[in-house]
Structure 1
Amino acid sequence: MSDGFSSEIRVAEDDPREGDGSYDATARIVDAGSTDDDGVVEAALRPRRLADFPGQPKVRDQLGLVLEAARRRGSPPDHVLLSGPPGLGKTTLAMIVAAELEQPIRVTSGPAIQHAGDLASVLSSLTEGEVLFFDEIHRMSRPAEEMLYLAMEDFRVDVIVGKGPGATAIPLELPPFTVVGATTRAGLLPAPLRDRFGFTGHLDFYDDADLEKILARSAGLLEVESDGDALAEIARRSRGTPRVANRLLRRVRDWAQVHGTGRVGLDAAHRALALFDVDEIGLDRLDRAVLDALCRRFGGGPVGLSTLAVSVGEETDTVETVAEPYLVRQGYIVRSPRGRLATPAAWQHLDLSPPAGAQTPLPLPDDPEAGRLG
């Protein structure tokens, strides 16, 4: 295969979405060389089997046990809920569950299921043993959630025929199937829905060693020559997230092909990451803008989330879900009941000195609702 990609990645026919918004992803293996779209390339780089899935050893071992036991019983496994920040492999694990069970998989998302009829359409098309993957399951509408409760527990749905006093509920039996739900905000799932998942796995950020393994595998699939120290540098700046690591690898590859020798070396990594505004600890433009506004404009805080978002020209949700989690985890920002506060590490990273009288963050509980008002 041309364009420097592995010939083992095959081309699948287009799989148009069903009328209910879901689609059959069973054979969705894409050709990474056919397009430059990042999402397509990311899909091609995903491991196909649990044994090839790097990192997350506890979740991998627990899920492997659940799937192996189900195979030996010859029955579908318990429903699976995967939670954790974006980019850690929840969708990949859902695809692996179907592959390990040798069953088809149907993919949909919480925002696409806004009416009970939408869910009934998806459920009625399932075959025995099929895997139904819900991405962002916490965003499903309440009527659809209530229908899903019954479907997951008793494998049936009640279809309402008619309106008003003459309406009749007709039970529709469903073949046994497995729901795999993915969520970045497990706390928003209602307890009745959460309790119907027999296995819950939480994915955490990866360490640098695991990210280096992921990058080495991706470089092999992309047929990119690379040096170990360059991959280590990319891993160190990848925020503990495989999706970020693979994206940075592709950008360094682009720089090496245009300005270098085509080989991903340490110098190419440094120059490419500097070009794309990724600093030594993985902070990007938005991260540094948030820190800069917090320290320079507001004297280190406290400042409300909405005010901080307006000051950097971004939506509140973007700052809260994209930039803030990593800044908090790295110890640059502290959430408090009165707003966000910059830590001494933030001032040091910006090479600034805290002004006289700047408040020192206290080790307060991490409250996601703290400091919303601005």
Structure 2
Amino acid sequence: MEHSEVDALAHPEDSEFESALRPKRLDDFHGQPRVRDQLGLVLEAARFRGTSPDHVLLSGPPGLGKTTLAMIMAVELDSNLRISSGPAITHAGDLAAILTGLDAGDVLFLDEIHRLARPAEELLYLAMEDFRVDVVVGKGPGATAIPIELPPFTLVGATTRAGLLPGPLRDRFGFTAQLDFYAAADLGGIVRTSARKLGVDIRSDAADEIAGRSRGTPRIANRLLRRVRDYAQVGGHPVVAVAEARQALELYEVDELGLDRLDRSVLTALCKLFAGGPVGLSTLALSVGEEVETISEVAEPFLIREGLMMRTARGRVATPAGWRHLGMEPPAGSTPSLFDEDA
């Protein structure tokens, strides 16, 4: 389960705030300038022709705005938005029911589309290309396929693992956008905008402090802003200054690079218990009392991206930067060999 899913379960009100903080128009969408400009051109061309835009695939890590962009597309096109997800569609009939309920020009958003069941995926091929589905009536030799015409619609697929998408499905999207992690300056703008919507009086340097600890992810930035708001309100601080932001983030165990308790536990175990590695993933997970999937999918990608840890053919190793982030000097000869890297 991802951090975002845990937070939504633990704090149901946060999902309501997240919805309120989403930009409604493409011009209000901070960051991702390349994707924003490309998508804007796709939408403007469709409006000019009076047709539905090509199907759109949004790819990237969680929390970067894929769902928000799908909602913005529907608003910009003045269309209805239907939302579902790959794991929720277990049979071709489930997808057929959704598709046949669409009106002309609707936007259908399928989150985690790489997890779509194979029968539903094959049904989707025909719907995307020919705007038609074949509904099979009966079983065995007497089964009959009844073609049903669909109105023109735009499918917006979102995936966090584009490599798992079958080639035939990926090739049917007319526009593919790869969302990247956000620059700190863009995140600072998002924090300031969200603070205004939440009625939080925050100074610019405090917003930048939150942005710098948000791992390049707007969802995390908004989550940290809400926790800083809580700290300021309870502590009687009408204006959030950088000192209050730092104190709040330290209370919630988010350090200056954005590492949380789990990240530091993994890095500390790697350096202190295993002398910087190499150590196997399962052994590392046992040492911090977490599941292997939690380490590999939640903590490890960020530690590697920050250059604090490396994966090698012999196991995980701490980099000199990882040692120094914990306030320790790396032992002599601890720099991993490039020849040990896991392809």
Q: Does residue 313 of structure 2 align to residue 329 of structure 1?
A: no
Structure 1 residue 299 displacement after superposition: 1.9
Counterpart residue type for residue 288 of structure 1: R
Matched residue, 2:57: 81
Preserved CA contact (<8 Å) 1:79 1:197: yes
Structure 1 residue 174 displacement after superposition: 0.7
Structure 1 residue 305 displacement after superposition: 2.2
Matched residue, 1:111: 87
Matched residue, 1:129: 105
Per-residue deviation, residues 104-138 of structure 1 (Å, max 9, x unmatched)? 00000010011111111111111111000011111
Partners of 2:118 and 2:247 in 1: CA distance:
49
Say which of 345, 352, 356 aligns to 2:328: 352
- 1:132 match: secondary structure: strand
Partners of 1:88 and 1:364 in 2: CA distance:
32
Preserved CA contact (<8 Å) 1:237 1:280: yes
Q: Does residue 208 of structure 2 align to residue 232 of structure 1?
A: yes
Per-residue deviation, residues 86-121 of structure 1 (Å, max 9, x unmatched)? 111010000001111110000000100111111111
Aligned pairs for 1:177-326 within 5 A:
177-326=153-302
Give TM-score, length-normalised by structure 2: 0.94
Partners of 1:202 and 1:137 in 2: CA distance:
15
Partners of 1:87 and 1:105 in 2: CA distance:
20
Matched residue, 1:24: none
Structure 1 residue 188 displacement after superposition: 0.5
Give TM-score, length-normalised by structure 1: 0.86
Preserved CA contact (<8 Å) 1:343 1:361: no
Matched residue, 2:318: 342
Partners of 2:342 and 2:167 in 1: CA distance:
22
Partners of 1:224 and 1:363 in 2: CA distance:
50
Per-residue deviation, residues 250-270 of structure 1 (Å, max 9, x unmatched)? 111100000132321111101
Query: Cα RMSD between the aligned structures?
Result: 1.5
Counterpart residue type for residue 135 of structure 1: D
Counterpart residue type for residue 39 of structure 2: L
Structure 1 residue 172 displacement after superposition: 1.1
Counterpart residue type for residue 282 of structure 1: G
Structure 1 residue 364 displacement after superposition: 6.3
Matched residue, 2:124: 148
Structure 1 residue 317 displacement after superposition: 2.2
Structure 1 residue 359 displacement after superposition: 5.9
Preserved CA contact (<8 Å) 1:253 1:263: no
> How many residue pairs align between the two structures?
333
Counterpart residue type for residue 75 of structure 2: A
Structure 1 residue 232 displacement after superposition: 1.0
Matched residue, 1:29: none
Preserved CA contact (<8 Å) 2:320 2:335: no
Matched residue, 1:93: 69
Against the structure 1 CA distance between its residues 88 and 119, is the aligned structure 2 distance closer, same or farther, given a 3 Å change threshold?
Answer: same
Partners of 1:336 and 1:36 in 2: CA distance:
40
Partners of 1:213 and 1:125 in 2: CA distance:
39
Say which of 56, 59, 68 aligns to 2:35: 59
Against the structure 1 CA distance between its residues 319 and 251, is the aligned structure 2 distance closer, same or farther, given a 3 Å change threshold?
Answer: same
Structure 1 residue 363 displacement after superposition: 6.8
Gaps of 5+ in 1: 1-34, 368-374
